[in-house]
Amino acid sequence: MFKRIDHIELLTAAPARAVEFYSGVLGFRERERTRVKTPAGPLDLVYLELGGTTIEVMCYPEARSIPARSAEQRLGWQCLALEVEDMDAALAALGAKGVATAWGPVKRPDYARAEIRDPDGNPIELRQWYRR
């Protein structure tokens, strides 16, 4: 059912330092940089890859404080993201084991997303890619 870790989000106030560490120290290569508009202002994203693993370095460059995503929002890891083969089947299998979705699924042309929580409340994103 689950294929691999798709990506890990890292929210930071110092993206250059984070990119330098993951690239210069750990050997990740930079795949892409982009800026997206959000209600909280621009969000800069840098995608770093190593051996099929992606870290999404995230920064709100104009924010005076980190925009709240939830009560647990903080600097550091935001969630673990697992790629699934079939979102509906994955959610059904998890539901059968008593695991409910925190939100989703949200279906877009290229992917479907949903989120579950581990027993401690840590978010785990599920992602099914339709095309990549």
Work out how many domains the chain is built from and give that number: 1
Q: Residue 122 and residue 116: Cα distance in Å, rounded?
A: 8
Structure tokens at 90: 């994955």
Q: Flag whether pLDDT at 73 surpasses 70.
A: no
pTM of the model: 0.64
Q: What is the pLDDT of residue 82?
A: 84
Q: Domain of 92: which CATH number?
A: 3.10.180.10
Q: How far apart are the first and last CA of the chain?
A: 19
pLDDT digits (tens, 9 = 90+) for 56-71: 999 999 877 665 555 5
- Reported as a single tens digit per residue, the pLDDT across 84-131 is 999 999 999 999 999 999 999 999 999 999 999 987 777 889 999 998
Which domain covers residue 55, as residue numbers?
2-129
Which of the two residues, 132 and 24, has the higher pLDDT score?
24
